């Protein structure tokens, strides 16, 4: 564990990466970063990585550059591949830390300070914060009551084994992160961040959690469909199954397939038993779909694509 810093002879430099694809909320996200409480002796820079074929976010970024109280850099990476955009932020950054926030999220004023505080006190290589979903009035009651879109890390025996990119701080100076990049092959299927952090953990990297480093994220109408959540959970299961075989290649596959299938069957039975309770029914059903996805991933099926699908202008083609 790295010892916490008590004195610094030069300012600590922090980059914030915002990967974007035709997101109207980008301006609101950037303005929320302008309201951050920046710790003393810390210099902030924001990198916007535009993943659209056309440089659709450039004019907005250039217009805001003179208004916002930090350096604002724009990089065009036109490949409709979210891994390329994330890697662009990694390669364009030069600070001691690099944080990621989604281009439709709002950072709380203490967001960055809380991430840095946990990084300093734990010496972790990566620090995750919670992403709180905000549902609109058109969302189903069962969905908003069950809060199916918010994100927090999962602890396994007191450790975090993987993570996500919607709210995270990376210690760029850590040897565990040297040369580490997001997998371009998963840049359209999704799960590239799950793999990145799983491999970081496997390499001995530490992932910590900052519960007060909150960002909030609106849930678009198209994501309030049960079918969207099922597709999302299935792909997450596929990623989990593929990673199990990649990270532990010497373990037999069929016992894992059997276990995942048994879990899926249990969840579907439980969903049927809770048929009259929409929240419980759908929660069990979604877990069952995730385990079916794990079976698919364990058997080597190609992961479904969520990124790069063309949509109408003004909507993001990437499913974050």
pLDDT score recorded for residue 8: 55
User: What are the 10-residue block averages of pLDDT along the chain, 320 residues in total?
Assistant: 54 96 95 96 96 94 94 92 94 92 97 98 98 96 96 96 97 95 88 95 97 97 95 94 91 95 98 97 98 95 64 38
Asked if 135 and 86 count as a contact pair (C-beta separation under 8 A), the reply is no
CB atoms within 10 A of CB 263: 17
Give a yes or no: residue 7 inside a domain: no
Going from the C-alpha of 263 to that of each of 165, 270, 292, 294, the distances in angstroms are 28, 10, 9, 10
pLDDT score recorded for residue 308: 52
271 and 133 share one domain: no
Nearest to 46 by CA among 60, 32, 59, 33: 33
Domain count, the chain: 2
CATH number of the structural domain spanning residue 67: 3.90.550.10
37 and 176 share one domain: yes
Give a yes or no: residue 270 inside a domain: yes
Predicted model pTM: 0.90
Give a yes or no: residue 304 inside a domain: no
- Hey, which bits of 109-267 come out as E strands? 126-128, 131-134, 155-156, 159-160, 167-171, 207-209, 215-218
108 and 163 share one domain: yes
pLDDT score recorded for residue 100: 98
Going from the C-alpha of 267 to that of each of 124, 263, 264, 274, 286, the distances in angstroms are 35, 6, 5, 10, 8
171 and 41 share one domain: yes
SS3 content of the chain, % helix, strand, coil (to 5): 40, 15, 40
pLDDT score recorded for residue 3: 45
234 and 172 share one domain: no
Nearest to 290 by CA among 218, 191, 222: 191
Give me Rg for the CA atoms of the chain.
20
Which of the listed residues 178, 197, 222 is the one where a domain comes to its end? 222
276 and 136 share one domain: no
pLDDT score recorded for residue 301: 87
186 and 235 share one domain: no
128 and 235 share one domain: no
Give a yes or no: residue 123 inside a domain: yes
Residue 263 tokens, joined: 């879990």
138 and 89 share one domain: yes
User: Which structural domain range is residue 60 located in?
Assistant: 12-222
Buried b (16+ CB within 10 A) or exposed e, 88-117: bbbebbebbbbbbbbbbbbbbebbbbbbbb
103 and 230 share one domain: no
H-only helix segments in 35-139: 58-65, 82-92, 111-122
Give a yes or no: residue 277 inside a domain: yes
The separation between the first and the last C-alpha atoms of the chain, rounded to the nearest angstrom, is 32
Which of the listed residues 222, 244, 277 is the one where a domain comes to its end? 222
246 and 286 share one domain: yes
Give a yes or no: residue 309 inside a domain: no
The H or E element that residue 104 is part of is none
62 and 211 share one domain: yes
């Amino acid at each position: 564990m790295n010892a916490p810093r008590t004195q610094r002879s030069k300012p600590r430099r922090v980059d914030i990466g915002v990967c974007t694809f035709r997101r109207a909320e980008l301006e609101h996200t950037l303005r929320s970063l302008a309201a951050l409480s920046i710790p003393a002796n810390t210099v902030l820079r924001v990198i916007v990585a535009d993943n659209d074929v056309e440089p659709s976010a450039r004019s907005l970024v250039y217009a805001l550059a003179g208004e916002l109280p930090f350096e604002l850099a724009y990089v065009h990476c036109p490949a409709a591949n979210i891994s390329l955009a994330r890697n662009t932020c990694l390669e364009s950054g030069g600070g001691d830390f690099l944080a990621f926030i989604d281009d439709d999220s709002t950072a709380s004023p203490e967001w960055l300070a809380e991430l840095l505080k946990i990084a300093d006190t734990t010496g972790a290589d990566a620090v995750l914060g919670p992403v709180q979903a905000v549902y609109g009035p058109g969302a189903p009651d069962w969905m908003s009551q069950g809060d199916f879109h918010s994100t927090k890390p999962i602890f396994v025996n007191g450790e975090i084994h993987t993570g996500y990119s919607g709210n995270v701080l990376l210690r760029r100076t850590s040897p565990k992160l040297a040369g580490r990049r997001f997998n371009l092959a998963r840049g359209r299927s999704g799960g590239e961040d799950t793999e990145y952090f799983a491999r970081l953990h496997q390499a001995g990297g530490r992932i910590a959690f900052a519960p007060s480093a909150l960002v909030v994220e609106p849930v678009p109408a198209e994501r309030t469909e049960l079918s969207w959540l099922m597709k999302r959970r299935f792909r997450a299961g596929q990623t989990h199954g593929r990673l199990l075989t990649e990270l532990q290649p010497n373990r037999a596959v069929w016992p894992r397939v059997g276990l995942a299938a048994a879990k899926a069957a249990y969840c579907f039975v439980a969903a049927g038993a809770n048929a009259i309770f929409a929240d419980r029914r759908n929660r069990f059903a979604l877990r069952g779909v995730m385990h079916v996805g794990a079976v698919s991933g364990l058997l080597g099926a190609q992961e479904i694509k969520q990124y790069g699908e063309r949509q109408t202008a003004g909507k993001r083609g990437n499913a974050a």
